[in-house]
Amino acid sequence: MAIKIHGSPFSGATLRVVAAAHEKEVDFEFVPVDLRSGVHKQYPFLALNPFGQVPAFEDGDFSLFESRAITKYIAFAYEGKGTALVGMELKPKVARGVWMEVEAHQFDPSASKLIWELVLKGMFGMQTDKAIVDENEAKLATVLDVYEARLGESKYLGGETFTLADLHHLPQLHMLMGTRVKKIFDERPHVSAWCKDILARPAWQKTVTLQEQAYQGIRSQEHIL
Ligand SMILES: N[C@@H](CCC(=O)N[C@@H](CS)C(=O)NCC(=O)O)C(=O)O
């Protein structure tokens, strides 16, 4: 098997890449990186990602880092397989690119802060900062107003078909749906329908099992200890 995805099942950026591979029906080897061990801050991992972060990716002798660049590579390299996540026609391609930028620069910053405060801090026994939650919930709501208008015009962000512009949101949406912030998605009918639709995709459901298995592994270890 030529493709290797190095990452952690608890990393949204890793799951973004795994989701793209499943959508394209591409076989890959998942190489688990234990972030607690610090192995990602040392060689040989730093040769794959000089920033010492997951994910990293290998296709034979070609390697990449940055989850959104990796999904683009998978989508183009395996164009003939699975879901068509990208198209080559100029205007739809550029429109899709706009929404990919929006995800990275408008949606993700607030979504990531909310996930840290509402999900991850609790896992590390830390206290949620309510002021940061309120500030970022308000910022994300403003972003979702723009999404609501867009999704009133087209079924998906990049047009009438599911593309990378939608896929890139999946890890953060998945995490936020289990928090109080879910309500700002539910309050917007087009956004709410879009979330339900893309989170139910078989490729995403398959991706999530990777994380569920990892949680089960941790629970059974705790039980043994
Ligand atoms: N922009 C990067 C972000 C990568 C990233 O933040 N990875 C996190 C996990 S989601 C990580 O490796 N954290 C451990 C660390 O920074 O030491 C991407 O999309 O690949």
CATH of the domain at 35: 3.40.30.10
To which residue do tokens 């509402």 refer?
Answer: 118
Residue 123 has a pLDDT of 85
The answer to the question of residue 209 being in a domain is: no
Confidence (pTM) = 0.95
Tens place of pLDDT for every residue, the chain, 225 residues? Answer: 589 999 999 999 999 999 999 999 999 999 999 998 999 999 999 999 999 999 999 999 999 999 999 999 999 999 999 999 998 889 889 999 999 999 999 999 999 999 999 999 998 899 999 999 999 999 999 999 999 999 999 999 999 999 999 999 999 999 999 999 999 999 999 999 999 999 999 999 999 999 888 888 777 766 554
Q: Which residues span the domain enclosing 42?
A: 3-84
Q: How far is the CA of 67 from the centre of ligand 1 (A)?
A: 9
In a shared domain, residues 97 and 132 = yes
Taking the centre of ligand 1 as the mean of its atom positions, its distance from the CA of residue 158, in whole angstroms, is 25
> Are 199 and 95 in the same domain?
yes
Pocket around ligand 1 at a 6 A CB cut-off = 11-13, 35, 52-55, 66-68
Q: Would you say residue 178 lies in a domain? A: yes
Sign of CA dihedral 151, 155, 159, 163: positive
216: in domain:
no
Both 58 and 125 in a single domain? no
Give distance in angstroms: CA of 190 to centre of ligand 1. 30
Q: Are 57 and 17 in contact (CB under 8 A)?
A: yes
Q: Are residues 16 and 116 in the same domain?
A: no
Number of domains in the chain: 2
Q: CA dist 49 to 27, 42, 62, Å? A: 22, 10, 13
Q: Are residues 161 and 147 in the same domain?
A: yes
CATH number at residue 97: 1.20.1050.10
The reply to whether 15 falls in a domain is: yes
Is residue 66 one of the residues assigned to a domain? yes
State ipTM.
0.99
